[in-house]
Chains A and B, each alone.
Chain A
Amino acid sequence: MIKLVEKRKPDTVMMRDVYIDQLIEFAKSDPNIIVLDADLMHSNGTYRFLEKFPERAINVGVQEANMMGIAAGLSATGKIPFTHTFACFSTRRALDQVYISIAYNKLNVKMMATDPGVTAAYNGGTHMPLEDIGFVRGIPTITIIEPVDTVMMKALLKDITYSYGPFYVRISRKTTIRVFEEGSSFEIGKGIVLREGKDVTIIATGIMVAEALDAADLLASEGIDARVVNIFTIKPIDRELIEKCASETGAIVTAENHNIYNGLGSAVAEVVAETCPVPIERVGVKDLFGEVGDVDYLKKRFNMTAQDIAASVKNVLLRK
């Protein structure tokens, strides 16, 4: 069951802090939980776990590939390792280790990939992961999660921790827009209808969910009745819900903080093409490298605002 907040606004707590506090809670009664970080403990907030459990927190230094391999080894001995580094380095810098050491070996590593997409902001183009979902989606068995806000992050952590198998979690470090009321619950693999509508479905993930809800408000004032769905499990994706939305609303717009290639938009388009072909438009970065700037600037720069989503809805409706 979910409940939406009445008025969406920036959270008062950072996602990294809510996450690590919850992990610390679990770790109090579970000695198998191990935290690894690659010299970003003060960026990712994992230093707080180190303070509580120094013997179970490992800062390997600047060496992401080694960290992934060590995590695989720890998992082979029954531990539940959580790796932490920026999403760009979790993938680009360590992908073969993620693939072979972790996934191919069928091990139980939880990869916490911070600063997804434009939230890498001031770190700029080299640090901006706009393709990580694509990399990971091509690896069998890895569950990909992109939490929307702190309530969802906290609620999902138990299942992430105790469902055996590799997880890739695209987690914001800083504050996000609060979308869900405290007490909401979520099921991995199941999308959520956030707003009913019959003309079109906007399917959004991560920080784009708040934009999608804003877009639906904009569209409502123009007489367009948009459904808004959050897909937070990008893999395995909720095929049933996507098919249902395609057949009931006849048009789909996806919105993601990622390249429109190989991310949510591609995943949704595959399902729609295979089950119930309807027109689709994809909002996200149009095959460009990232750049430096604040998140608001970057959202505008890459046409990822509520206005951009609303414009895509109008385009897709013309093709309906």
Chain B
Amino acid sequence: MLRITDLSVSYGAISALDGISFAIEQGAIVTLIGGNGAGKTTTLRTISGLLRPKAGRIEFLGEDITKLRPHQIVARGLCHVPEGRMIFSNLTVDENLAMGAYLQSDDELIARNRDYVFSIFPRLKERIRQMAGTLSGGEQQMLAIGRALMGNPKFLMLDEPSLGIAPRLISTIFEKIVEINQQHGITILLVEQNANLALEVSRTAYVLETGHIVMQGESKQLRTDPQLKATYLGG
């Protein structure tokens, strides 16, 4: 579904990704794990068109999207829940969701997606007229995911959804991520520093370290890998 080939990205003279390649099959939850500064966010931002790669190629559903702009990529069904959530703080919850559906014109579909978002995150429905900036961190993450679902994605990229969220809410959010994948068949690329959690919910995993993919495989197997355990899973 998504194929990355020899992707290199740099910020000025600083290289952040150094020729990474991977492919994601339709229907899977794939995770990209790695420590702080490994290049995970850079990978997602390049796929969604916010950053321009120095070299390499990004294909989505067989089409070369490397040179497309973000709004054109969203239009193809590839949505990105960015790091730090980036909700529109001075817009209401409702308006945030409406922004998520910006490219959708079928009112019936929009209404159905809204109902779906409210069914998985009932808290959002209770806070529909509230300014998004007044929500708690966990609620903002729910809104960020809900907003992306309003775009009717085929492929969803999540950048550290567990970051800065109460532990109680983390498990809720991860349950919902699995549910979104299983019930709606939305393919998911999950970026996490919380490797334990990410390996639990995903089928395959890639480990990124300073701009290189250093390990890849079935999540089940990686969970027991001694080297990975020592570095990312707390021994």
Decide whether A and B are members of one complex: no
Residues of B within 8 A of A (CB): none
